[in-house]
Structure 1
Amino acid sequence: MTAPLKLAVWDVDGTIVDSRKIIQRAMNRAFERAGLGGIEYDRTRTIVGLELTEAILRLAPPDYPAERIPRLATYYKEAFVEQRAEPGFEEPLYDGARETIERLVDEGWLMGVATGKARRGLDIVFGHHDLHRYFDTFQTVDGGLGKPHPRMVLDAMKETGTDPIQTVMIGDTRFDMEMGRNAGVHTLGVSWGFHTPDEIREGGAHDLHDGFDTLNTALDAFGARVEDMAS
């Protein structure tokens, strides 16, 4: 008997990769260059995961001219690229991320990405950490509607031939949880990224985890349920 398919769809920033410093520095530099005096991390963190233009719109002052939003977004992209060329640049994987991904792949899981990054940005990060080889489907904002719309999860399931009862969404923001819920899949929140536990729960997380140890336990339990339903 063929084992049932199981798909884990992962957010990237704040879930697999610790990008808190680089994202904050880039947004702060962008706002400074636009003459807006910079921006605090506690504001920046609230928009991580959204498509960039939508994120900038939420952060810009209410009276900021709409025609300047694309330029502010460009400043952010430029600041991001600049940091990658600076001495001492770091954008590390969270401890346990690679081990969990490798283990799931070894056990026959399919792996997907659903990120607010553009594909170019995703490829840079995954290339740096040699992660492409573990994943079967890559969903970015280049393909259409971003979080919390379910489009990326739906497209990931379509590409892998899975359905909602075989799919789990893993992320660190309420947008990840809302996207997963909107797609009808199980949602596992992680607390080590950008959003607070309360914000993640408000997004509809079925479970919330403070470390990869309990996340692994939850993934194993989900996989066992999928296999039980198929038997």
Structure 2
Amino acid sequence: MPDYDLLIFDWDGTLADSIGRIVDAMQHAAVACGLLPRDATQVKGIIGLGLPEAIQALYPRLSEAEVLTFRDQYAQRYIALEASPSPLFPGVAEGLELFRQAGYRLAVATGKARRGLDRVLKGHSLESFFDITRAADETRSKPHPLMLEEILAYCGVRPDRALMIGDSAFDLQMARNAGMPCVAVGYGAIELDALMAYEPVLAVERFAQLTAWLSPGEPLSSKGE
């Protein structure tokens, strides 16, 4: 059985099925700003970055003021789309509860801003579920390892005892930069084949596969006893 103390999850595309809404909001913001919308594949390729970094990656010639305008247009559209929070992927709610019962520490490391993360956590009644959450606007954007280092320090866990679970190259590169093992999920923004270069300890196409891998054939309540 894999032996970890801390599980750190990306949010968009890993826990929540929100990729389509992100693509929609990014394309809407481009049109509103008089820019050529990027296609879905291009937008998916920047998911995981903080929003300003994502906009600059898609439109590197924008001025700082133009990035702010684009960000406002994106936020307005995304908040409207999120009137009902993006659903969790199948098996996520059950798996997270099983992990907590098993004694794992749980955290979120996301490219969302704090306001957006708090909104979706509240929408899913998960405000106090995780030991710690870190958002891109309160630390360094992925793939810089700072948000993982802050989570590790808060939880008092070594990098080799923690596991980063994510659906983007930025998630897995961040884990590598922090000296942490990672799990690649293939049901989010990026196809699994493109993530294998980061040498994940596990690659899954369903969240239930992660749940089974972390607790195979063992009563969950026995972990840590």
> What do residues 59-83 of structure 1 show as CA deviations (whole Å, max 9, x unaligned)?
11x5444541221112111111222
How many pairs are equivalent?
218
Amino acid at match of 2:172: M
Tell me, yes or no, if the aligned pair for 1:5 and 1:110 is still in contact at 8 Å.
no
Which residue number corresponds to residue 122 of structure 2?
127
Tell me, yes or no, if the aligned pair for 1:174 and 1:204 is still in contact at 8 Å.
no
Q: Does 1:194 align with 2:189?
A: yes
Task: Sort the Cα spacing of 1:68 and 1:94 in 2 relative to 1 into closer, same or farther, 3 A.
Answer: same
| 1:113 partner SS | strand
Which residue number corresponds to residue 43 of structure 1?
42
Which residue number corresponds to residue 142 of structure 2?
147
Amino acid at match of 1:197: L
Q: Does 1:171 align with 2:159?
A: no
Amino acid at match of 2:40: Y
- The separation in 1 between residues aligned to 2:99 and 2:135, in whole angstroms, is 22
| 1:134 partner SS | coil
| 2:183 partner SS | strand
Deviation at 1:36, TM superposition (A): 1.3
- The separation in 2 between residues aligned to 1:134 and 1:180, in whole angstroms, is 22
- The separation in 1 between residues aligned to 2:4 and 2:201, in whole angstroms, is 21
Amino acid at match of 1:77: A
Q: In terms of mean alpha carbon deviation, does 113-122 or 35-44 score higher?
A: 35-44
- The separation in 2 between residues aligned to 1:139 and 1:158, in whole angstroms, is 12
- The separation in 1 between residues aligned to 2:150 and 2:128, in whole angstroms, is 19
| 2:45 partner SS | helix
| 1:133 partner SS | coil
Amino acid at match of 1:93: L
Tell me, yes or no, if the aligned pair for 1:181 and 1:204 is still in contact at 8 Å.
no
TM-score (norm 2): 0.89
Tell me, yes or no, if the aligned pair for 2:95 and 2:208 is still in contact at 8 Å.
no
Deviation at 1:188, TM superposition (A): 0.5
Which residue number corresponds to residue 226 of structure 1?
none
Greater per-residue helix proportion: 1
Amino acid at match of 2:204: H
**Please, which of 69, 72, 81 is the counterpart of residue 71 of structure 1?**
69
- The separation in 2 between residues aligned to 1:74 and 1:102, in whole angstroms, is 35
Task: Sort the Cα spacing of 1:107 and 1:76 in 2 relative to 1 into closer, same or farther, 3 A.
Answer: same
TM-score (norm 1): 0.87
> What do residues 124-179 of structure 1 show as CA deviations (whole Å, max 9, x unaligned)?
11111112232001111132211001111111111111111210000111111111
Tell me, yes or no, if the aligned pair for 1:111 and 1:136 is still in contact at 8 Å.
yes
| 1:104 partner SS | helix
Q: Does 1:100 align with 2:95?
A: yes
Q: Give the superposed CA RMSD.
A: 2.3
Tell me, yes or no, if the aligned pair for 2:89 and 2:207 is still in contact at 8 Å.
no
Deviation at 1:43, TM superposition (A): 1.0
Tell me, yes or no, if the aligned pair for 2:26 and 2:74 is still in contact at 8 Å.
yes
Written as runs of structure 1 = structure 2, the 5 A alignment for 1:3-22 is 6-22=5-21
Task: Sort the Cα spacing of 1:65 and 1:5 in 2 relative to 1 into closer, same or farther, 3 A.
Answer: closer
| 1:132 partner SS | coil
Deviation at 1:100, TM superposition (A): 0.8
Which residue number corresponds to residue 78 of structure 2?
80
| 1:149 partner SS | coil
- The separation in 2 between residues aligned to 1:65 and 1:131, in whole angstroms, is 37
- 5+ residue gaps, structure 2, are 219-223
Deviation at 1:41, TM superposition (A): 0.9
